[in-house]
Each structure stands twice: as structure tokens, then as C-alpha cells.
Amino acid sequence: MHITIEKAINDHLKGEAQKNAHDFIAYLKANDVVFHESDNFFWHPTYKGKDLFTLNVEVNDDGASFDALINLLPSQWENEKFPIEERTKEIIWKNVRPCEIAGCGDCSPGISKNIFGKVFNNLCGCFLGIYDPDAETYNCLKKMFDGIRKDIDEGQVKSGG
């Protein structure tokens, strides 16, 4: 059975989690992001044909969460001199996923990534994992998308995320 991301959010998330997730999806769609129906609760939204990240409505015995798995950052974010709020840096750094945490084993021994001047090693291919974000973290995701969109518009992203 195919399902839209909005239906999955409506069916499985409640309260602020539902509101924040709908707000984020509306923001992406207002900025020309395309979503396709899914049959496994994973969506790979695209902008101008380029993959952005993976979104997942995770449903388990404890309830449900909205997750973002990210393997692409705005190119400016790899520059330690890029002017961005310290809180945004903290949110991103807090959500970095080393291979041993991700547990997939597919990306071992992992990659190294410079994020705002801080080098992380042994990272999973989807090196950021944002699980059940709050409103502040969704705002960070919006900033991230805006930077990736700029890179795509300027031809700096050659393949999907």
C-alpha cells in the first residue's frame, strides 16, 4: 500500500510532533521539493531531481517518531568561517552519526567530514541522524535545506544526496 508522507504524519504522530512535521513538509513543498508516495514509511524528497535526504516516520511499540537521515550538507557549512549561529552548530554536531552508532555496517570504516571547522571521523554514509526533532531542530533543518537548495541552483551538487 502506497502512502503519502502527510498521511503517515496524520496517522502516527500526535500533538507538537505532528504540527512540526507538517510545518516542515509544507516548507519543503513551498520550495519546490517533490515527494513520491512510499510503501515503507521512507521518503526521499528531491529538488530539481537531486536527492536531499531521507525522511522516515518510524512506527514501533513505543509510538512513532519523525526522523531525517542526511548525507549532504550545504557546501558553505564545511567552512569553519561560515557565519552561522552557535546553536545551529551545536544541533548539527549533536546529531552526527558515527558508524558504530548507526549500526548498519554498510559504510564501515566510515567517512571523515569537516562540519563548521570540527572534523568528525568514522561517520556513517548518512552522517546526520535527526530523530524526533523539536521546533528548534526543524528550523535548523530548514536552514540546511536552504543551503543545499542554493548549492543545487548554483550547480555545486552533481548527484543526489
| pLDDT tens for each residue of 93-118 | 998 888 765 455 566 677 888 888 88
Query: Which of 70, 50, 53 shows the shortest CA–CA distance to 152?
Result: 50
**Residue 60 within a domain:** yes
Which residues lie closer than 8 Å to 148 by C-beta, 6 or more apart? 47, 52, 72, 73, 74, 157, 161
Do residues 96 and 127 lie in contact, with contact meaning Cβ atoms separated by under 8 Å?
yes
pLDDT of residue 16: 94
**Residue 125 within a domain:** yes
Mean pLDDT, range 121-150, rounded to an integer: 88
C-alpha cell at 57: 516516520
What total of structural domains would you count in the chain? 1
> What is the extent of the structural domain holding 77?
5-153
**Residue 112 within a domain:** yes
**Residue 160 within a domain:** no
Identify the helix (H) or strand (E) that includes residue 125: strand 118-131
**Residue 158 within a domain:** no
| pLDDT tens for each residue of 84-98 | 888 988 998 998 888
pTM of the full structure: 0.85
Find the DSSP H helices in 13-130. 15-30, 86-94, 99-102
**Residue 161 within a domain:** no
- Tell me, what amino acid is at 136? E
| pLDDT tens for each residue of 52-67 | 999 999 888 888 899 9
